[in-house]
């Protein structure tokens, strides 16, 4: 039972940064903007959050700086694609490259340095319950924040007037503009939220998951977060399931590698194969979804389409 609890806790740890980054990108895409720079925003959040925590000794300061770093990167992207009507795909890829380069510069003097990780919340009595205590009441604040973000995003998109406006902008920006809504302001606000969530995901990687600086520590999680949004059909609760599914795959391949001696011969494969399995599954999911694109589901009709009020 202790082993099962430990494995489930590691699954939660692996899934949380995916969920945090993906929920922000979901809101961005529901507004009609395709931001492929999630990985760049995440790694900048990780670098700046780690540097702030190392300098101040405060995890709160680290989280705040990480979110601001993600928002700053998102603001650059917004200036290009909303203000200058630049190509969203090209700008997103450039944002990722920029983030990877800047994070290496920021973290140049921090390689190998460690900080105290953010610990779980200690809830008296409840945290000491067998099994459930650690899995439900003994998690770190980021995990609870991720659940709250999923619930809040679902309510915002499906129950609030502002969420209705955002979805209208994503489905038909010309009609939303004709009704008097400022499309660029709505999309820029969505980008700021997405940047904050990506920075928060980066802070989780740097302050909880790997509490010492390593160049490129996000390790492609931003790309998986992008795939998760499509996997979830742009719906928050499906995103929760998808993030934990991919997190379980990431942790499962580590345990399969550790159990190589007890596995049948046909499962004894190189460790690189198991490490690549979650990313291969991402490609398979995207291919399956693209084949069924006739059922559009919740895909925003204006996703990736630039808007200019003068045109």
Q: What is the pLDDT of residue 292?
A: 63
Q: In whole angstroms, give the CA distance from residue 30 to residue 243.
A: 18
Q: What is the pLDDT of residue 125?
A: 72
Q: What is the pLDDT of residue 302?
A: 94
Average pLDDT, the chain: 88
The residue to which tokens 């969420």 are assigned: 163
- Torsion-angle region of 304 (φ positive above 0: left; ψ -120 to 50: alpha; else: beta): left
Choosing among 2.60.40, 1.10.10, 1.10.3470, 1.20.58, the CATH entry for 2-119+134-291 is: 1.10.3470
pTM of the predicted model, to two decimals?
Answer: 0.91
- Pseudo-torsion of CA 166, 168, 170, 173, nearest 10°? -110
129 to 16, 147, 283: CA distances (angstroms): 23, 21, 40
Q: What is the pLDDT of residue 190?
A: 98
* Longest alpha-carbon distance in the chain: 66
Residue spans per domain, the chain = 2-119+134-291
Cβ-Cβ contacts under 8 Å for 84 (sequence gap 6 or more)? none
Q: What is the pLDDT of residue 74?
A: 98
Q: What is the pLDDT of residue 247?
A: 87
Residue of 46, 40, 47 lying closest to 96 (CA atoms): 40
Tens place of pLDDT per residue across the chain (311 aa): 577 788 888 999 999 999 999 999 999 999 999 999 999 999 999 999 999 999 999 999 999 999 999 999 999 999 999 999 999 999 999 999 999 999 999 988 888 889 999 988 877 776 667 767 777 888 899 999 999 999 999 999 999 999 999 999 999 999 999 999 999 999 999 999 999 999 999 999 999 998 888 888 998 899 999 989 988 889 999 999 989 988 888 787 776 666 666 666 666 667 677 667 767 776 777 677 667 655 555 689 999 999 988 65
């Amino acid at each position: 039972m202790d082993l099962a609890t430990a494995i489930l806790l590691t699954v939660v740890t692996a899934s949380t940064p995916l969920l945090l980054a993906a929920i922000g990108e979901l809101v961005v895409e529901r507004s009609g903007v395709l931001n492929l720079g999630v990985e760049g925003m995440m790694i900048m959040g990780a670098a700046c959050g780690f540097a702030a925590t190392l300098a101040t000794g405060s995890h709160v300061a680290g989280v705040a700086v990480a979110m601001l770093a993600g928002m700053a990167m998102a603001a650059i992207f917004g200036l290009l694609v909303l203000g200058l009507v630049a190509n969203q795909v090209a700008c997103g890829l450039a944002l990722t490259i920029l983030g990877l380069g800047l994070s290496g510069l920021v973290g140049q003097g921090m390689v190998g340095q460690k900080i105290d990780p953010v610990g779980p919340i200690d809830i008296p009595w409840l945290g000491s319950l067998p099994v459930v205590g650690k899995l439900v009441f003994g998690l770190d604040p980021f995990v609870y924040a991720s659940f709250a973000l999923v619930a809040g995003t679902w309510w915002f998109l499906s129950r609030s007037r502002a969420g209705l406006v955002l979805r209208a902008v994503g489905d038909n920006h010309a009609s939303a503009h004709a009704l008097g809504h400022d499309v660029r302001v709505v999309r820029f606000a969505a980008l700021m939220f997405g940047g904050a969530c990506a920075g928060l995901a980066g802070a989780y990687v740097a302050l909880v998951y790997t509490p010492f600086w390593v160049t490129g520590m996000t390790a492609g999680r931003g790309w998986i977060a992008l795939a998760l949004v499509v996997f979830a059909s742009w719906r928050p609760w499906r995103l929760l399931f998808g993030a934990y599914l991919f997190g379980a795959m990431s942790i499962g391949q580590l345990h399969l590698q550790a159990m190589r001696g007890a596995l049948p011969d046909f499962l004894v494969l190189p460790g690189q194969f198991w490490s690549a399995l979650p990313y291969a599954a991402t490609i398979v999911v995207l291919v399956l979804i693209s084949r069924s694109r006739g059922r559009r589901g919740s895909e925003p009709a204006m996703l990736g389409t630039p808007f200019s009020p003068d045109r």
